[in-house]
Amino acid sequence: MWLKFATLVLLVQIISAAPANDNRRIINGTDTTIEEFPFMISLRASAGSHSCGGSILSSWWILTAAHCVNVLTSPSLQSVQVGRTNISRLADESVYKIELVIPHPEYNSSDSYVNDIALIKLREQLELGETVQPVLLPAPCFELEEPDLGVTLIGWGYNNDGVASTTLQRVEYYVVPNEECDAIHDNTIYPSQICAAEPGGGKGQCSGDSGGPLLHDGVQVGIVSWSIKPCTIAPYPGVLTKVSHFLEFIYENTDLDPPQCDLRRCT
């Protein structure tokens, strides 16, 4: 099965000679619904426009990327919209104000956006239901291994035309092993990061998808962090925060009940 994935990586490298003005972006997603992904949220800017994605951890807490929030301004200038397939600027019962933002203390935007993870506490408790549910978290230090490398990305990021979608999108593609991803990117890819791509490019994350979840069998394994522009251009995989390496941070700072296992930082 390693040979199968190595072939996929080779295809990515071969197509790296594709012209830089290729207009493909996030690309090539398909419409989905909040009923299928009821943990998905839209992080809204002050004017109500979508800025980043995120996921519900509990009725009080949201998981997103550190680069999507600011401890000084987010509580007053951003809000969280839940339970919507189609997002809008309108403020209704689906929009919640932010009380507190907790970025990872070792987040570093100048070093490959390492530790790009943050927690948001809401001012009011979510009313859980069919379209508002917590996401499933992985086991501590969980790693995807071949041949089971298929993943799903969801979000409202930019589409092929460079326009942010108002309807929730999903794409299916593959995890790229860290050593392969590190060899492709100029920036260091750390063990606490995870990479994903479609061989040949043309599928994956783009602006507006930051903070949103990468899923494997319904479990959130990644948080969208950064990518080379133009989005999804071969051979560059998108880079995400690996959730399984940050469970200690999540459980220590939220009201979630930790599992009965060792949550010490993965090496």
182 classed as catalytic: no
List of residues 6+ apart from 186 with CB closer than 8 A? none
Q: Name the catalytic one among 74, 210, 225, 227.
A: 210
Three-class SS state of 21: coil
What is d(CA 140, CA 262) in angstroms, rounded to the nearest whole number? 7
67 classed as catalytic: yes
- List helix spans (H) across the chain: 2-14, 74-77, 178-184, 247-253
Q: Name the catalytic one among 116, 165, 209, 244.
A: 116
What is d(CA 121, CA 124) in angstroms, rounded to the nearest whole number? 9
210 classed as catalytic: yes
Nearest-10 Cα torsion for 209, 79, 123, 102: 50
Q: Name the catalytic one among 67, 104, 185, 245.
A: 67
Q: Are 223 and 214 in contact (CB under 8 A)?
A: yes
CA distances in angstroms from 6 to 13, 70, 206, 233, listed in the order given:
11, 40, 25, 19
Positions marked catalytic? 67, 116, 210
